[in-house]
Amino acid sequence: MRYLILSDIHANLEALEATLAAAGPYDQALVLGDLVGYGADPNAVIDRVRALPVAAMVRGNHDKVAAGLDGIDGFNQIARDAVQWTTAALTRDNHAWLSALPKGPVVLDATIEICHGTPFDEDMYVFDDLDALRALRSAARPLCLYGHTHVPAVFQLTPPEAATGVSATIGLTGPPGRSARFEVHVEAECQYLVNCGAIGQPRDADPRAGYGMVDTDAGGVTMLRVEYDVRAAQRKILAAGLPEMLARRLAIGR
């Protein structure tokens, strides 16, 4: 089974289309939340995702706020402006669909689970080893895929720590830097926390859209990057009257 990993699309239709075109054959998609917010195409992105063969999906913090399920208190001014614009732009049908997205984590099978932030808190960020350890301790499956930070990363928990639950060591074997492909081989007895990056708003100084592919037969995760028409996405953001900074940051991947 080949799963296409889509996270943090953030209403960036150009980045999503480039990702889908570059991804090649896959069986089903796993969607890790934040379909909307920041970008100018919330409805087109939702329509596109709704048409995909999706095995599992969770909501992100921007989806929650845009759908009116959570307040804007945790957002900075730019995120607030963007989410308010998004809520007003959503069709009634897409608003209802967004508000019905499942809260993570969602367990897919015996090996894989997905979440937006962490398994223990959908809104928590995994930035360092300690965050990753907490997340891995709360994971119900050996391969936990997450998003939210917009930064690709791989955390591996190796035995005996994984088995005994004592003095665990996290080995950060990523992020993949500027290579277009980065392979993670899933070893038996190990636990993995993997972020394949953000499609619509990368923040690792690489402006290319970040996505992933999980091959359950080969036991591997591939983290990939693809160029897209950044200028088209920027033009739409500016034309929509969204904060200019949201257009600028796409070009630098920050």
By the criterion CB under 5 A, which residues form the site for Zn ion? 8, 34
Residue among 57 and 186 whose Cβ is closer to Zn ion: 57
Nearer to Zn ion, 8 or 122 (CB): 8
Nearer to Zn ion, 114 or 157 (CB): 114
For residue 46, give the nearest of 75, 89, 84, 110 by alpha carbon: 89
Shortest distance, CB of residue 34 to Zn ion, whole angstroms?
3
The residue with its CB nearest to Zn ion is 34
- In the complex with Zn ion, the residue whose CB is nearer, 34 or 206, is 34
Cβ closest to Zn ion, residue 8 vs residue 41: 8
Which of 12, 103, 104, 87 has the alpha carbon at shortest distance from 49? 12
Q: How far apart are CA 208 and CA 250, in angstroms?
A: 9
Only one residue has tokens 């889908």, namely 20
Smallest separation, CB 96 to Zn ion (Å): 21
Minimum distance between the CB of residue 148 and Zn ion, rounded to whole angstroms? 6
Residue 195 burial (C-beta neighbours within 10 Å; 0-12, 13-18, 19+): buried
Q: What DSSP string runs through 48-113?
A: HHHTS-EEEE---HHHHHHTTSS-STTS-HHHHHHHHHHHHHS-HHHHHHHHTPPPSPEE-SSSEE
Local structure of residue 30 (DSSP, 8 states): E
Q: Is 24 left (phi over 0), alpha (psi -120 to 50) or beta?
A: left
250 - beta bridge partners?
none
Cβ of residue 112: shortest distance to Zn ion, in angstroms? 21
| Residue 88: CB minimum distance to Zn ion, A | 20
User: 8 or 191, CB closer to Zn ion?
Assistant: 8
Cα–Cα distances (Å) from 183 to 186, 222, 224, in that order, read 10, 5, 9
> To 5 degrees, how large is the angle CA 190–CA 24–CA 178?
60
Minimum Å gap between C-beta 32 and Zn ion is: 9
